[in-house]
């Protein structure tokens, strides 16, 4: 999933003094969308998660944003009432309005009680999550029913089960709740797509951990079938073992990505991640060029977007897509669904200054394809030389907004809208391919995938 590391738009970070912040920024700010209040004082920033009457101070200790925030990406209006923020590598802008004082709700520390945790959970999903209608969910009715189950003496297990029941109707691939209960971490995701859901059910039937079921599928696919069956031992592995590429049938390039980012290492800065992406894509494009490749298959059918629950990167998706662009093109439009005044961001692809491939491209997806991988699909689909095949993606392209409950449980939810060039909104239903093909057959998913790749290579 893609997480949203943007000043005044996330409460994931606790930020130390940032010397370059202008003194004019001192004061209190409320984002337009994204449910965040910020207190700025002499370069120090304190974040609060805001939803209706709920306001929780963020106390996380993630890495500082000091390298990402300075005068170069902050624009303050002349009256000092509005600030617009743009991060490096991001075309998206977020606005915040000045407040005269810190909201009353933010001045009281939240209690760690079942009632307080329930109130925060319900409020975050009411005010920060905009897709109830897509899933046919009456959230207020769900909250009213669940409230009857909340008791002061209930256990963490019981409270987590109530939250699971509330989330279950929201079949959203970017919605999940992580909790630490009895020294163990538990996680609930209401929607994983048909393929992963089937694998998890098989694991449950066999009495084995879900993680083991995924490894039993992904391991043979990524470490055996792609390098040995599809690429016949002649492929190359790069990008922290997250990218494989080679040539099929003599003139068909094959590029498989397991994530969209983390090609350098976990924790790499945006600059380092972009440098790694550009170097890897230059290597691949030069290899395709030297090999006389006439068409390319980009395999995103087993791409989870991010890595180990850490999100992928939209700027990496754009950089990859730009290697296949021959001219500037509008890729998609994005905006926060809970924003009132913030402008919609038109994301544009610019042809890479490096080596490019401008011939026919086939992009393969499945219901596993999710998050930043879907942003890559949207970007590639905007190019005239690209055809999308396979199955619809999982339908969770939005950046992820993190919310922390008073007890420390972590709620991830989507609150953005991505609209393609035809005005279509794919969130909640998946990006539908131009040509539908079965990718992972239930009986033998790995073998079916390899057979499909070979079939596509002969048709190119």
**How far is residue 365's CA from residue 319's CA, in Å, rounded to a whole number?**
19
Q: Distance between CA 375 and CA 318 in Å, rounded?
A: 8
Q: Where are the domains of the chain?
A: 23-107, 114-193, 195-395+430-459
Q: Judge contact between 33 and 339, C-beta under 8 A.
A: yes
| pLDDT for the residue 44 | 80
Closest CA to 88 of 273, 282, 258, 352: 273
| Architecture, CATH, for domain 114-193 | 2-Layer Sandwich (3.30)
Tell me, what's the pLDDT at 20? 61
pLDDT at 288: 98
Each residue of 238-295: pLDDT tens digit?
999 999 999 999 999 999 999 999 998 776 788 899 999 999 999 999 999 999 999 9
- CATH fold, domain 195-395+430-459, is 2-enoyl-CoA Hydratase; Chain A, domain 1 (3.90.226)
* Cβ contact 174:400 at 8 Å: yes
Three-class DSSP category at 243: strand
Residue 145, both tokens = 């029913």
Q: Which tokens hold the place of 323? A: 């290697």
Identify the CA nearest to 261 among candidates 239, 285, 237, 238. Answer: 239
Alpha carbon of 427 to those of 222, 336, 424: distances in Å? 27, 13, 9
Report the 3 state secondary structure along 153-201.
CCCHHHHHHHHHHHHCCCCCCCCEEEEEECCEEEEECCCCHHHHHHHHH
Q: Provide the whole-model pTM.
A: 0.90
- How deeply is 104 buried, as exposed, middle or buried, from its count of CB atoms within 10 A (0-12, 13-18, 19+)? exposed
Q: Are 337 and 416 in contact (CB under 8 A)?
A: yes
What parts of the chain have a pLDDT lower than 50?
Answer: 1, 3-19, 61-70
């Amino acid at each position: 999933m893609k997480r949203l590391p943007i000043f005044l738009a996330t409460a994931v970070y606790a930020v130390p003094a940032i010397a370059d912040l202008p003194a004019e920024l001192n004061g209190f700010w409320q984002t337009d969308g994204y449910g965040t209040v910020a207190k700025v004082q002499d370069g120090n920033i304190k974040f609060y998660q805001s939803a209706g009457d709920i306001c929780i101070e963020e106390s996380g200790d993630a890495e500082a944003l000091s390298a990402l925030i300075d005068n170069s990406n902050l624009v303050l209006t002349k009256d000092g009432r509005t600030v617009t923020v743009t991060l490096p590598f991001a075309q998206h802008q977020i606005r915040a309005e000045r407040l005269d004082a810190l909201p009353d709700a933010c001045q009281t520390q939240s209690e760690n009680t079942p009632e307080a945790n329930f109130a925060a959970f319900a409020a975050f999903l009411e005010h920060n999550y905009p897709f109830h209608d897509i899933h046919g969910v009456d959230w207020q009715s769900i909250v009213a029913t669940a409230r009857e189950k909340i008791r002061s003496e209930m256990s963490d297990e019981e409270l987590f089960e109530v939250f699971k029941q509330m989330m279950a109707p929201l079949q959203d691939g970017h919605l999940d709740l992580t909790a630490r209960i009895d020294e163990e971490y538990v996680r609930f995701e209401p929607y994983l797509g048909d393929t992963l859901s089937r694998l998890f059910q098989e694991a449950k039937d066999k009495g084995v951990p879900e993680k083991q079921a995924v490894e039993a599928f992904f391991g043979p696919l990524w470490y055996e079938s792609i390098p040995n069956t599809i690429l016949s031992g002649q492929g190359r592995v790069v990008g922290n073992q997250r990218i494989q590429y080679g040539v099929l049938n003599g003139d068909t390039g094959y590029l498989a990505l397991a994530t969209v980012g983390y090609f350098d290492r976990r924790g790499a800065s945006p600059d380092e991640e972009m440098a790694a992406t550009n170097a890897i894509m230059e290597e691949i494009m030069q290899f395709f060029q030297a090999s006389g490749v006439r068409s390319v298959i980009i395999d995103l059918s087993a791409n989870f977007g991010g890595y180990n629950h850490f999100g992928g990167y939209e700027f990496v998706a754009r950089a990859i897509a730009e290697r296949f662009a021959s001219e500037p093109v509008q890729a998609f439009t994005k905006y926060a669904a809970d924003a009132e005044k913030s402008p919609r961001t038109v994301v544009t692809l610019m042809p890479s200054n490096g080596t490019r491939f401008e011939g026919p491209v086939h992009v393969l997806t499945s219901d596993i394809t999710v998050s930043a991988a879907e942003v890559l699909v949207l970007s590639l689909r905007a190019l005239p030389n690209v055809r999308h095949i396979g199955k619809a993606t999982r339908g969770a392209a939005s950046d992820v907004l993190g919310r922390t409950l008073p007890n420390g449980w972590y709620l991830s939810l989507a609150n953005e809208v991505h609209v393609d060039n035809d005005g279509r909104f794919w969130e909640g239903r998946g990006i539908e391919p131009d040509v539908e093909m079965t990718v992972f057959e239930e009986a033998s998913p790995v073998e079916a995938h390899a057979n499909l790749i070979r079939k596509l290579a002969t048709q190119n």
